[in-house]
Amino acid sequence: MIYEKGQYVRVEGTNELKIIKEVVIVSEKTLYVCCDDVWYDGNNLYPHDMKIEIKNSLNEELSFSDFGEPKKVLNDLVDYVSKMDEKDFNSFLQTIKSSDIDLEGPLI
């Protein structure tokens, strides 16, 4: 699969989200330089939403780890919520309350 600069991908085996910084072709082989400055072979990358789409199609529950490294996902969520005004925060809480998110179970 061919990815483009700026696209989000996941690294096979680690589930880490990466952003493609550069696409480099060397001897007919496409390599991708990601935001961590590591070069990846396209065979080691997959679309960022593929895991979520597969779980949804199988009616499996999603977990925080499906969206990336759980601590990073939670930190990003806390950062996002802390910048909301009161109206947006209340709307966010209503969305959480009316969703199927299991706040009692394990996060990972």
Between the CA of residue 75 and those of 1, 5, 72, 84, what are the distances in Å?
31, 26, 5, 15
pLDDT at 52 exceeding the cut of 80? yes
Kindly state the percentage of the chain with pLDDT values over 90. 32
Can you give the pLDDT at residue 102? 60
Where in the chain are the domains? 1-60, 69-100
In the predicted model, what is the mean pLDDT of residues 76-98?
Answer: 87
| Strand segments (E) across the chain | 8-11, 17-26, 29-34, 39-41, 45-47
pLDDT at 58 exceeding the cut of 60? yes
pLDDT at 55 exceeding the cut of 60? yes
Kindly state the percentage of the chain with pLDDT values over 70. 90
**Would you identify the CATH topology of the domain 1-60?**
SH3 type barrels. (2.30.30)
Which is higher by pLDDT, 72 or 58?
58
